[in-house]
Amino acid sequence: MTKPLIIVESPTKIKTLKKYVGKEFNVGASAGHIRDLPVKTLGIDIEKNFAAKYVNIKDKAKVIANLKNLAKDTNEIYLAPDPDREGEAIAFHIMDILKKKDRIFHRVLIHELTKKGIQEALQHTKEPDVDKYDAQQARRKLDRIVGYQISPLLWQKVQRGLSAGRVQSVAVKIICDREREIRKFVPEEFWTITADLLAQYPPEFNAGLIKINNKKAKIENQEQASAILEDLETAQFVIHEIKTKTIKRTPAPPFITSKLQQDAINRLRFSARKTMIVAQQLYEGIEIGTGGPEGLITYMRTDSTRIAPDAAQEAQKFISETFGNDFALKKPRFFKNKNKVQDAHEAIRPTSISHTPQALKNFLTPDQFQLYDLIWKRFVASQMAQAIIDQKTILIQATDKYLFSVSGSTVRFPGFMSLYSQDQESAEKEIQALPDAIVGAALKTIKILPKQHFTKPPPRFSEASLVKELEKNGIGRPSTYASILSVIRDKGYVDLINRFFIPSELGFIVNDLLVTCFPTVLNISFTAQMETNLDNVESGNLQEVQLLTDFYASFKKYLDAAGEQMVSVKGVGVDTDLNCPSCGKQLNIKIGRNGHFLACTGYPDCSFTSNYLRDEKGHISIVEKIIDNTKVKDCSLCGKPMVQKEGRFGPFLACTGYPECKHTESVNGEQSGKDTGVKCIQTNCSGTILEKKSKRGKIFFGCSNYPDCTFASWDKPQNKACPDCSSPYLVEKETKREGKFLKCPEKDCHFKQQL
């Protein structure tokens, strides 16, 4: 009989596990999911209680064969994929593939990849969680039904390659709704008045006008501001009241997934996706000179702020020894979870406080160090004493009519703020120092300053604020936010410009079609309720089949109606308020192979088409066609003039002898894309690979000699031949589990090399 087998999700965990379980166990990895719904069909039998037809993932044949080989002589298997719904599904699928008479399966939940965490998990095994598996299945089936039944409509009505998603489409709607708010916004003028004042002793300070005749100051224009300035020219400023108070500020709890993403975006300029990739690396284990990899943080997908008592006690001891007893607590601080939070995991924290960021710096990449430093400081700060802050507000009377105010604060005791400030903007803002003064004291007027302002529209969403919005509305789950943000960009529905999301024209078109035809699916409260329903399935309070049945009953009605009623952007197009300059009929927005454009509704009698622009208010204007027949050079094949044209992938030169002569060339000196420095891999091509953007906003890589050379790839090529096959190049890829690596582009070759 062979040793018991532990099966984890990620291959990178194998070394970490072997370090602690020694030779008592064999260890294998599933490398993520090994079974899924089929790619080319729905894979769900709606008529038979939504039964799923799972198939082995094609690329996992070798992984499955290896697991079967490892398990062939053992009767005891420990299922240790990640401790969440996805991990539970992986565990069930492994169990299904490896089931055998008298074989026993144990579910192992490893929350931290340390000696203690692994030993505790192996000593307290569980039965596989059917309810958690049902919740994962319900989510997977919902997403498949929405994606596979709405997306073909978009292919038919808009263009191929588009997709709709139960959660991603709601995220796009939120961004589109905000953009429309911004476009409708009309700024309003207002003024503020401040005074630079000096008491008997320095420092000079600046106070703002807050009340006029005991009512909130509201200055709408320059005339009103000028009248107030005239009143104040000879006014005596006198201290009317001094208010003082002491406040105690409590640190924030340790990170949950969404808060970690938000802080990493704001402080480190990481994307949500990058944050999760780096956090996964820290969780799965890093070589830190202890004789093998060691997990540095607890599991990074969690909604819970709970922490283990022994971790809190360890933090107290460290704080006392490092900062002093004044900074430590008499007893650890524990945080209450919000309602409905799943408490299966702890908050994100370091597995050992003694592993300080500085002590590990030489073992970590710069990205790993920055994120670990953030997690470590946030957790330690959560167990430190409150900060004590003295606040002072001085109210100043100028005549009986005007009341000014100024506030300042002094940190009496920094407490946790000496390590981690949870409000970065406040920490960076200069705090105004106030003088010692008494009520009734007259102040010297240095300067009175009027200033014109205009109200601002609501801000666009950044990655951090969109994650916060999704979390606030209960849309998706923290573990899905990174993929949602990536998908909506990859599909060309939104662009991330100067760190803010802006909907593309395609994003608006698709969003409006879906909102019209599927109002329930794109309803924020409905989507949030669905997340609650999935939680209820996990807790055993709702049956998976009941959830799916209730959803599909209304969804099918909308789906059937959409097939008939959804506007065809390819055919009819989207209405505009513009008229055709050629025949006067209405112009509609259509989408073709080269993107969106205006077309006359009088076609085929009128064939007018044009590109268009939207201004900041969303108004459409026709882009006048500039026909440039300027000869650039002579055609090398037929001698006729060549002129510049605009193609699918940018400008190129074309022979005017078309269609008899179809010769084309790239534009000399014009490289419509960022040069990667990689030579084109096509035989006998002298071009270089450029990073380009498709009409839908997705990044791809193409040759600078286009259209003569048509090489293109979604992945960045590298001039390195594959050592396992005849491919002359490799491509760069990046995944959540494996980070960055090189891969052979040939489908039948499985060569990979870590970067």
pLDDT digits (tens, 9 = 90+) for 658-669: 778 877 776 654
Q: Which CATH architecture has domain 257-382?
A: Orthogonal Bundle (1.10)
Helix then strand then coil, % of the chain, to nearest 5: 35, 25, 40
Would you say residue 482 has pLDDT above 90? Answer: no
Looking at residue 703, what is its pLDDT? 84
Residue-level pLDDT at 671: 45
Long-range contacts of 141-148 (CB under 8 A, 24+ apart): 141/44, 141/50, 141/52, 141/548, 142/166, 142/530, 142/548, 142/551, 143/167, 144/37, 144/42, 144/43, 144/44, 145/42, 145/44, 145/46, 145/548, 145/551, 145/552, 145/555, 146/521, 146/555, 148/42
- pLDDT reported for residue 474: 87
Mean per-residue pLDDT over the chain, rounded: 88
Phi, then psi, of 272 in degrees rounded to 5: -60, -40
For residue 134, the model assigns a pLDDT of 95
**In sequence order, what are the beta bridge partners of 207?**
195
pLDDT at 143 over 50: yes
Distance from C-alpha of 280 to C-alpha of 10, rounded to nearest angstrom? 10
466 pLDDT tier (thresholds 50, 70, 90): very high
> What does the pLDDT read at residue 479?
78
Q: Of all residues in the chain, what percent carry a pLDDT higher than 70? A: 93
Least confident window among 262-276, 372-386, 521-535, 741-755? 741-755
Tell me, what's the pLDDT at 181?
A: 95
pLDDT at 315: 95
* Mean pLDDT of the region 231-245: 95
On whether the CB atoms of residues 640 and 656 are closer than 8 A, the answer is: yes
Under the banding of pLDDT at 50, 70 and 90, the label for residue 625 is: low
Q: Residue 653 has what pLDDT?
A: 77
pLDDT class of 647 with cuts at 50, 70, 90: low
Give the list of residues 6+ apart from residue 492 with CB closer than 8 angstroms, or none.
Answer: 504, 506, 507, 694, 695, 696, 697, 698
pTM given for the model? 0.78
Looking at residue 96, what is its pLDDT? 94
Q: What is the pLDDT of residue 12?
A: 84
708-712-715 Cα angle (round to 5): 155
Q: What is the mean pLDDT of residues 539-548?
A: 95
Both tokens assigned to 620: 């459409």
Residue 628 has pLDDT above 80, yes or no: no
Rounded to an integer, what is the distance from CA 115 to the centroid of its chain?
A: 33
More confident residue, 640 or 446: 446
Domain with CATH 1.10.460.10 in the chain: 138-185+459-565
Query: What are the E-state strand segments in 704-747?
Result: 712-713, 717-718, 730-735, 739-743
The mean-pLDDT minimum among 48-57, 213-222, 518-527, 604-613 falls in: 604-613
The whole-number pLDDT of residue 722 equals 82
Q: What is the pLDDT of residues 684-714, one digit of tens each?
A: 788 888 887 765 557 788 887 777 788 888 8
Is pLDDT larger for residue 623 or for residue 275?
A: 275
Q: What pLDDT does 202 receive?
A: 86
Listed in order, the ranges of the chain carrying CATH 1.10.290.10 are 257-382
CATH topology of domain 189-250+388-454: Topoisomerase I; domain 3 (2.70.20)
Q: Which overall architecture, per CATH, does domain 5-128 show?
A: 3-Layer(aba) Sandwich (3.40)
Residue 90 has pLDDT above 90, yes or no: yes
Angle (CA) 221-222-227 rounded to 5° is: 105
CA distance 368 to 355: 14
Kindly report, residue by residue over 156-193, the tens digit of the pLDDT: 999 888 889 899 999 999 999 999 999 999 999 999 99
Helix (H, G, I), strand (E, B) or coil at 613: strand
Tell me: pLDDT of 427 over 50: no
Task: Give residue 227's pLDDT.
Answer: 96
What's the CATH number for 138-185+459-565? Answer: 1.10.460.10
pLDDT for 428 beyond 50? no
DSSP 203-261: PPEEEEEEEETTEE--B-SHHHHHHHHHHHTTPPEEEEEEEEEEEEEPPPPSBPHHHHH
Tokens (6 digits) for 170: 């709601």
**Where do the CATH 2.70.20.10 domains begin and end in the chain?**
189-250+388-454
Backbone dihedral angles phi then psi of residue 594, each to the nearest 5 degrees: -100, 15
Average pLDDT, stretch 614-627?
76
Residues annotated as part of the active site: 299
Query: At 516, is the secondary structure helix, strand, or coil?
Result: helix
Instruction: Determine how many CB atoms are found less than 10 A away from the CB of residue 246.
Output: 11
Q: What is the pLDDT of residues 305-333, one digit of tens each?
A: 999 899 999 999 999 999 999 999 999 99
Task: Dump the DSSP string for 645-695.
Answer: EEETTEEEEEETTTTT---EEEPTT---SEEEEEEP-STT---EEEEEE-T
Query: Could you please report the per-residue DSSP string of 264-314?
Result: HHHHH---HHHHHHHHHHHHH-EE-SSSSEE--B--S--------HHHHHH
